Structure 1
Amino acid sequence: MTLQQRLEEHFQFAHHNATWRTETLAGLTTFITMAYIIFVNPAILSQTGMPLAAVTTSTCLCAAIGSILMGALANYPLALAPGMGLNAYFTYTVVKGMGIPWQTALGAVFLSGVIFLLLTFGGIRQRLVAAIPYQLHAAVAGGIGLFIAFIGLRNSGLIVPSPATTVTLGNLHDHSVQLAIFGIVFIAILSAYRVKAAMLLGVLTTLALGIACHQVQWHPSTFNPLAIRETAFHLDLRGALRMNALEIIFVFLFVDLFDNIGTLVAVTERAGLIAEDHTIPRLDRIFFADASATVIGSLAGTSTVTSYIESSAGVAAGGRTGVTAIVTGLLFLAAIFVAPAVGAIPDFATAPALILVGALMVAGAARIDWDEPRVAIPSFLTLITIPLTYSIATGLSFGLISFAVLELATGRGRRQHWMLYLLALLFLARFAWMSHG
């Protein structure tokens, strides 16, 4: 048996009808849609006093290691990188708000990653996923579809803030908005013709048109990957173990746990990778890769690493195996040396892909039993609150709590696993804690 055949057997190419070309294109598509993190994450974390060049290198390195681990061990097309939201919490709440040094905050991230590993080995994270009613899987996927479509609409400038109506239509005379509209139409036409590389071709064509129209700004800069030495292994575990850091560890743990579960359910649902009994195969490996990436990230010098919903773009491009994630990881590795060039990809080029991936994910909502209030109401609350609260974890909270309440109120409580009610109580406690804070 040749090396290629062994790899195809390991990644179950035959089972998923996968090809090297499709998986590679899917990995490239995922990378392009989430490449913004290479610059956004360092821009946020550098406000804590962390050196910009060091954080840029650690961001690329951790995204590479996390994605390759996920692909090689779990065989899923899930890419990982430092999570948006958690990096803002790290910077603005923990370091700037509480006055905690960034080294101590990194120690808290490390401890949350270790707890993740322990929860994974103990099978607790797997049980939490199993406790989420399968009836809500499509709602979570649809809600995240609306979420990333909303992000795409905002990034493109098609939707802008409005003091009168919260949001409103953007300036259609703006050239970047016009380019984004072109990208949406172009990808939609390619998709209608069943072109598998529609997302990737759309992004690259829109980028090329933007360059021709002088809408792409690029400022070459010196970049030294060895700068990572300024953050690597600088975490302060002793400081993180003090009482005032316990709350921080809990938030890192809680938000990452449920954002990750929501992303996982959504991407596997979209890719058709959920088993017939509504379980997710190799769940322990998925969580091991995720938790390990967070631990490695804290050691390298970045905030919590988590699964990225932009992986849906790769799935929409045909990615079904871990090769997709490995390709994304290798591209992040290469980005360490060409980070300034990667930063030339503007929002108007990637936003159309996010918008149309969102459209594809919302299609799953058709599988929800809208005629059954016990399912329809929690599903709707999940769908609507994920984009409107800008939080996957919050949307999942609303869905689970309402589902649990309706099951108990209609005398069907014993039909569900007891952990569903434990989760609902945890979510209620989270809301009470948030209100108190």
Structure 2
Amino acid sequence: MRQIRADRLDRYFALTERGTSTRTEILAGFTTFLTMAYIVLVNPAILGQAGMPVASVAAATCFAAAFASILMGLVANTPLALAPGMGLNAYFSFTVVQQMGVPWPIALGCVFISGVAFMILTVTGIRQLIVTAIPTYLFAAVAGGIGLFIGFIGLKNAGIIVANPATFVALGDLKAPGAALALFGLLLIGALSVWNVRGAMLIGILATTALGWLMGMVTVKPEPYSLAALTGTAFKLDLPGVFGLTGSHGLGLVEILFVFLFVDLFDNIGTLVAVTKRAGLMDAAGRIPGLNRILITDATATIVGSMAGTSTVTSYVESAAGVQAGGRTGLTAIVTGILFLATMFVAPYAQIVPIAATAPALIIVGGLMILPLTEVEWEDPMSAIPAFLTVAMIPLTFSIANGLAFGITAHAALKALRGTATRKDWFLFLLAGLFIVRFIWMGAA
């Protein structure tokens, strides 16, 4: 019986064909889980600042990651794990909810609609039109800008940088308990990372939380596990509210949907290329087998995640850790998903983790996201100027949308002035035109 099951697993996931085994896939799934389990603590900390119940968001995070990863394994047979995306959760909390004043149930509705739009674009093939309209160096610039954005938020949450009326930002009081605790966590995660300790991020967060508890910064209130306590965000999305946004939110709705869709689309593609290339799954022509199934799974995950109560779900580049450990099939992703499902039963206790303990993780993740900037040809003004504007405007305006707008508009303008624009660039100039209208509208508001 055991041999029959092993044969079925082998056939379904093509284990032998891809040069792997069940044992290797399980170990790879554990490895991927350990490298991205920090999201169970960090995502609730970020979305909690939007007024969402932390324990419920933690449970939604676990459920969304479990559902998406298992679905990816079963449908696409790819060692790619998914969870609520870093960067988009910050945009959701700090820009959409706090800056634009959109209630979080309506913001969840926007995430749901963006997932549906992603599904439609993938099925109809319009996704290819969008991909070809944007130069690849802008993908890298957006990733780097989001990295700076996340790092900036981490430094702010830690109290390491503070507001200053004269210089806008300044160095905070490093002797303050929160800043000191965050610096300890930053040093610990950094040390564990350079020692190549698996799960360095998660270990660092937990150790920093323990120190915060000893310092009296954490209030532990053990409560019995209850499924009822996890329904604070489930099915709370407000779709009628999305279409009812008026006044200052009228054009803002389009912007919100565009950012959720655009960043998810290109973040997903970038992760796919990195992970599948490392796993040896990309064909000789540089194509990713089953790409549509992967993207449809991603869109489905975002839709389900929004209903559970979390921001956009996307592929995680940490999946590369599992690939490095030998993962080559969807069984790796399924194991990761099962572990997230098991973590759901301790999710309510995520609220005991202080912001100062998750801030170092944001800083480290932000730093790691800077790597794609090496793909920009900085010596060429044609790419350097739009890339710099994208990278700079995302953290300095606290808006991914502004960075995208400046980058795409600058790229289109320079292309036109250089005389290299062709009829094939019509969609690029359409996007640039819409962004210019947006700037004019924002100036008149």
Change (3 A) 1:185 1:39: closer
1:27 corresponds to which residue? 33
Residue 357 of structure 1, aligned match among 365, 378, 381:
365
Residue 250 of structure 1, aligned match among 251, 254, 273:
254
2:178 corresponds to which residue? 176
Do the aligned residues in 2 keep the contact of 1:137 with 1:265 (CA within 8 Å)? no
Distance 1:253 1:11 in 2: 42
Distance 1:228 1:402 in 2: 45
Residue 339 of structure 1, aligned match among 335, 347, 364:
347
Give 1:348 deviation, angstroms.
2.7
Give 1:328 deviation, angstroms.
6.0
Change (3 A) 1:112 1:145: closer
Distance 1:77 1:12 in 2: 21
Q: Does 1:260 align with 2:264?
A: yes
Do the aligned residues in 1 keep the contact of 2:116 with 2:303 (CA within 8 Å)? yes
Distance 1:34 1:387 in 2: 24
- Equivalent residues in 2 for 1:27-426 (5 A)? 27-38=33-44, 41=47, 44=50, 60-70=62-72, 72-73=74-75, 75=78, 76-80=80-84, 83-86=89-92, 89=96, 110-221=112-223, 224-226=226-228, 250-264=254-268, 267=271, 273=277, 283-297=291-305, 299-300=307-308, 302=309, 305-307=312-314, 311=316, 329-330=337-338, 332-414=340-422, 417-426=425-434
Query: Partner amino acid for 2:190?
Result: A
Change (3 A) 1:303 1:340: closer
Give CA deviations for 1:20-53 in whole Å, capped at 9, x if unaligned. 445423323323235343465467466xxxx998
Give CA deviations for 1:339-364 in whole Å, capped at 9, x if unaligned. 33122222333322322232233233
Q: Does 1:431 align with 2:436?
A: no
Change (3 A) 1:285 1:253: farther
Query: Match of 1:79, SS?
Result: strand
Query: Partner amino acid for 1:160?
Result: V
Query: Partner amino acid for 1:201?
Result: I
- State the TM-score, normalizing by the size of structure 2: 0.75
Distance 1:175 1:11 in 2: 54
Distance 1:167 1:349 in 2: 22
Do the aligned residues in 2 keep the contact of 1:105 with 1:235 (CA within 8 Å)? yes
Distance 1:10 1:331 in 2: 21
Do the aligned residues in 2 keep the contact of 1:259 with 1:393 (CA within 8 Å)? no
Gaps of 5+ in 1: none
Do the aligned residues in 1 keep the contact of 2:56 with 2:232 (CA within 8 Å)? yes
Could you tell which deviates more after superposition, 353-362 or 1-10?
1-10
Could you tell which deviates more after superposition, 71-80 or 379-388?
71-80
Distance 1:193 1:353 in 2: 16
Q: Work out the number of aligned pairs and report it.
A: 423
Give 1:257 deviation, angstroms.
0.9
Q: What RMSD, in angstroms, separates the aligned Cα atoms of the two structures?
A: 4.3
Give 1:375 deviation, angstroms.
0.9
Give 1:402 deviation, angstroms.
0.9
Do the aligned residues in 1 keep the contact of 2:302 with 2:314 (CA within 8 Å)? no
Do the aligned residues in 1 keep the contact of 2:156 with 2:162 (CA within 8 Å)? yes
Distance 1:150 1:175 in 2: 19
- State the TM-score, normalizing by the size of structure 1: 0.76
Give 1:9 deviation, angstroms.
4.4
Do the aligned residues in 1 keep the contact of 2:64 with 2:301 (CA within 8 Å)? yes
Give 1:136 deviation, angstroms.
2.3
Distance 1:431 1:85 in 2: 19
Change (3 A) 1:193 1:224: closer
Give 1:287 deviation, angstroms.
3.6
Change (3 A) 1:273 1:431: farther
Could you tell which deviates more after superposition, 21-30 or 406-415?
21-30
Change (3 A) 1:105 1:201: closer
Give 1:59 deviation, angstroms.
5.8
Could you tell which deviates more after superposition, 109-118 or 274-283?
274-283
Change (3 A) 1:214 1:236: closer
Do the aligned residues in 1 keep the contact of 2:68 with 2:298 (CA within 8 Å)? yes
Query: Match of 2:422, SS?
Result: helix
Distance 1:204 1:136 in 2: 36
Change (3 A) 1:419 1:246: same
Change (3 A) 1:240 1:196: closer
Query: Match of 2:352, SS?
Result: coil
Query: Partner amino acid for 1:190?
Result: L
Distance 1:43 1:296 in 2: 22
Query: Match of 1:160, SS?
Result: strand
Query: Partner amino acid for 1:255?
Result: V
Change (3 A) 1:272 1:324: same
Query: Partner amino acid for 1:124?
Result: I
Distance 1:357 1:426 in 2: 32
